[in-house]
Structure 1
């Protein structure tokens, strides 16, 4: 916002202006006085060409923002100037003035003087500042600048640098408090004692004091209207400098009676103001009687401004962290279901840097027939959008798995869903479907990290899974085929699913992280919950920018085992396959000691197979197995490619259709229908008398 027409044509050196008296614009230009007009409501600022020249700001780089000047003013001078302007606006002053330094293109510092008049609206609120600035280097070179001893100047510079550096690394309010609780903070500030209080619910909470042995009872919580120096500076928004024991005793008698024995004689109490509101106060106490020079007071005001900004930033971070953590936890499952035959442990840890929210998730999905689905995934990004996408993706993936789709179909449909969302995010995912009765494990990977398997002897190995593209990308590029990897998990073995935050570190190779994880699992505790906690503790010791999700699934070693499953594929015009299926059912039922119900089971299975072949266009697959548990049950399943569900109906007097499911309903103890992705499965179960417990030597077990 530069008005290039506001400056008259330059007068040649040595020439005398022809007009008398000289116009104000010419007078200002000849004396190198720049003008500015600052609109406090819109935060826009207008500066003329002379003002920009004094600050060495190229006109083409100035767009009317205060931030455009930031690189030209050192941080300490900027903090001091902010404090001067803020104090003038708060105490009702009409004008202010201050010297500060500015940096030219070569980095050389020169002095600038600024003066402004504060304009207020009808309610007395500052709305505009109109002022001037001029180069004061020559003026101060003639001795007008108050000189300080070189040692004191170096000390003050060290204090500013130390405190600024320490607060720059503070992310949370607790980080700031911990710094001031450290005895070195008192040493850095050059004080004998310090106290830090924060405004909480209309009171002042003393959160740090140093050294701690000088804590004064009765000062942990104080009211804003109490006669304490901290209360005063928060009420008035102005610093308070106490320069003698007599002043302390006269102004704050209650406090003086409790600190006089430790030799305190003077103090500086500074309000911590952020966004025009007090958030706390800092007190620096000294044992010796001392006055506070103008330079010292400016230094303390600058430090209090820096501390206030750090605290405000930390408070905002804590609020965002609480909000993010609540959102993240609401997107994850509230509880992990109890799965017969398995023990499961899950963990989530947010990043120690960033916004502490991301798209990592886990889920455990109970499935029919002694199966369980385990999911681990990571949506791109670390923000609330990633968490929202994660929540939607987790729900639809659970729905697809519960509907009975195959693992590959679950992944393909989840990818299509994510692609159809109005988002540019993609997600990596790993889906594992485990049959806990047989130990068969089906794994599907969408751009995710390979899982690991921990054996009963503690050794851990990586399970290479041929994967597809991440969710969303595979649908975009039309590559929805996800290969399925099948492995066996013995009783007592543990499947580890995790996101990259567990194994990836900046600058390190992924394989190194995987090897390190395998070693941690090998040497870690055998108890599942303790193992999960230890792996998370290792992550928390690192500083990273990624969150982490972990899911451990262990197949019970003592879980009851079924006698295996027997399966037969039957084509529509294949009587030999139909006969083989009948023979398979008859042999299995008798081998399992269910001879009393052999006829019923064979009849119902034959009816279900016949219905599948008659009423669908494709083949049928019949499966029979013995379910584990206290009550022995034989389960028969017949799968087909039709999505049409069967209906039981009463046949007419002369009708023959409709008797099949009526027969199934009468003979089976329970029956039902499950969607299976590309079709359905009609199943039924029969309770059989317990003759003996099944072992590996059962004749029908694990028949190919």
Structure 2
């Protein structure tokens, strides 16, 4: 009896599918099973496809591709349709791919099988119920692996995957280092179990090694199969007591980067559907591991750049305490242009620098490193703060405009456009704050290039911005001047310098961001400087955000650099509060800032009316200088206490004009002439002091022992200094010159 007759007797047909030509050859029984006349026939792939249910054709297409990739049998159930689209029977297909180069032929059988009963649907791999369960699992697995941020997280997700109906209880991920296998991670084993598999040669007769060599999956459904195929390494696997194993290649961009082992304590037949799930998980796992590896390499690179570019503050400085933090922006390499530095100067002086190069990329980090070195060189040469910034500006202008400045930054660029041009990536600028401090006296000389002003927390907890004169950011104009501001940091006071990332994060602008930070500084009581530095960063980004990694890293909007300086020593029992600022002729808008500084200086003054009076008089005095002279106004305000803890405020406004103000008697409709009248009415004392060059106008206010009380009529009792500023001036918002 012929083989064809035997197969026909058991309703089994033969077929051959040539992938290269697209021709499918059927014997008589196979043709009958497909609803065609019972005779041998050759059909096109499209003609055969029209006989299968569309859903089942998609299913077998995936099964065939999997079998070709693994060199295994392709098995599937297929519903046969008639010309009217009705299911006439269900057949089982089993075929073996014969690979010839890039082409292949499928040779196999078709056999009619009974339709699955409704009650058995959940146990039948080809049914929609199992398919939906598998698809839901793969969606969840893909989402979880895509969200994993590190190799450890990828392995943790892989270990928690619950595959539909056949979850492994032992997992291992193998990597390749040269010609040897490594264990990237494992689950379901004890510590130390990975020992024999670590640093195993890829030539070893071991399933994972063969998978790495060939790039093909290996399925071992029974211990006997494992022993038969890998007798040398079977003793290594035997001691774990598993019944089935699957070893799958981890392939990324056509390169096998390792292998994944899934081991089972119960027998698994590794049906096509089960192999399909395992193969899909292996592909997702390989992609997740590759992404995690790239991310970890980037993090390591960013940490290396930071360690190289950011300084170590070094040993303690007698009389000073310094703390600093740098937090890069989220995403990418997590490097940027913010930096800080501390430089030892001749004579025991210390220089502190903080700055921000435009941008958050590698180029910004590179420019930051060059600029930091240049600043350190200029400072070490003994230049004063204004000269250091001037030279640094010329240096940055030169390198960002594609020119090399002569004389270590002294040469002028030939490009007349502001900010330069023509350099790789375009010209960039940088903001910077540079100060020198004498640890013994606390005298600070500071120059500023477009950077936010520093803030000072005084010994009594009052926090004020320290207004300083400044110039353009570095690198915009090579001939910019940077005036120097001098003040004294008293023992117990803390100076804060920061980049705008600390202020302008979370929807804040410079003003609202400063109020947030000022509130935190005022609450700084008993904390060390290091704790305060952490608190400042955490107030913006949350706990732990001063590190470069973590779940909050990608939400960072800008780099942050913060530098804190505290002067140690014996603190005066009642140290004075002082603030000083210059209001230039070209900056009349700084009058509003002067009023705000006076209010901050008197934040805990007991009499609100006196605060209004002080603000009004300051506005009048500064406005007089800008209107009636050609020079700038220098405002100095101070709050002191006597031995009885009574507080007094003294404000001086100086200018370079020798013309002394005189008291006038303005008419009812006059628009000026009330300045000295207001001071006489509102101040406890006032005066005009001639100086060698110019003059100084001053006033004093004495704080009452308590807030004014209301008399029987319900009106506040007032003395000369407590009189309402609005009543005295008529218009608080329009200060009049004397």
User: Normalised by the size of structure 1, how large is the TM-score?
Assistant: 0.53
> Structure 1 pair 297/449, CA: closer, same or farther in 2 (3 Å)?
farther
Would you say 1:197 and 2:174 are equivalent positions?
yes
> Which residue in the other structure is 1:420 paired with?
398
Checking the alignment, whether the CA contact within 8 Å between 1:268 and 1:284 is kept in structure 2 is yes
SS in 1 for 2:185: strand
> Structure 1 pair 179/405, CA: closer, same or farther in 2 (3 Å)?
same
Would you say 1:375 and 2:353 are equivalent positions?
yes
SS in 2 for 1:473: coil
Unaligned 5+ runs, structure 2: 1-20, 23-57, 75-97, 105-123, 403-422, 538-543, 572-738
Map 1:118-517 to 2 at 5 A. 148-181=126-159, 183=160, 190-200=167-177, 202-211=179-188, 216=193, 218-219=195-196, 221-223=198-200, 224-252=202-230, 264-333=242-311, 336=314, 339-421=317-399, 422=402, 423=423, 424-456=427-459, 460-465=463-468, 467-475=470-478, 480-509=480-509, 511=511, 513-517=513-517
The CA deviation at 1:389 is: 0.9
Equivalenced residue count is: 437
Q: Give the greater-gyration-radius structure (CA).
A: 2
The CA deviation at 1:253 is: 5.9
Larger helix proportion of the pair: 1
SS in 2 for 1:539: coil
> Structure 1 pair 214/329, CA: closer, same or farther in 2 (3 Å)?
closer
> Structure 1 pair 539/510, CA: closer, same or farther in 2 (3 Å)?
farther
The CA deviation at 1:241 is: 1.5
> Which residue in the other structure is 1:526 paired with?
527
Q: Distance in 2 between matches of 1:160 and 1:390?
A: 46
Checking the alignment, whether the CA contact within 8 Å between 1:502 and 1:539 is kept in structure 2 is no
Checking the alignment, whether the CA contact within 8 Å between 1:401 and 1:410 is kept in structure 2 is yes
> Which residue in the other structure is 2:28 paired with?
none
> Structure 1 pair 313/184, CA: closer, same or farther in 2 (3 Å)?
closer
Q: Deviations over 1:33-63 (max 9, x none)?
A: xxxxxxxxxxxxxxxxxxxxxxxxxxxxxxx
Unaligned 5+ runs, structure 1: 1-26, 29-75, 97-116, 121-128, 132-145, 560-704
> Structure 1 pair 470/119, CA: closer, same or farther in 2 (3 Å)?
farther
Checking the alignment, whether the CA contact within 8 Å between 2:211 and 2:259 is kept in structure 1 is yes
Q: Distance in 1 between matches of 2:295 and 2:264?
A: 33
> Which residue in the other structure is 1:539 paired with?
546
Q: Distance in 1 between matches of 2:504 and 2:197?
A: 44
> Structure 1 pair 464/201, CA: closer, same or farther in 2 (3 Å)?
farther
Q: Distance in 1 between matches of 2:351 and 2:216?
A: 63
Checking the alignment, whether the CA contact within 8 Å between 1:453 and 1:461 is kept in structure 2 is yes
The CA deviation at 1:246 is: 2.9
Checking the alignment, whether the CA contact within 8 Å between 1:502 and 1:548 is kept in structure 2 is yes
The CA deviation at 1:429 is: 1.6
Checking the alignment, whether the CA contact within 8 Å between 2:137 and 2:164 is kept in structure 1 is no
The CA deviation at 1:370 is: 4.4
> Structure 1 pair 247/189, CA: closer, same or farther in 2 (3 Å)?
closer
Q: Distance in 2 between matches of 1:294 and 1:524?
A: 68
The CA deviation at 1:390 is: 1.0
> Structure 1 pair 334/184, CA: closer, same or farther in 2 (3 Å)?
same
The CA deviation at 1:392 is: 1.4
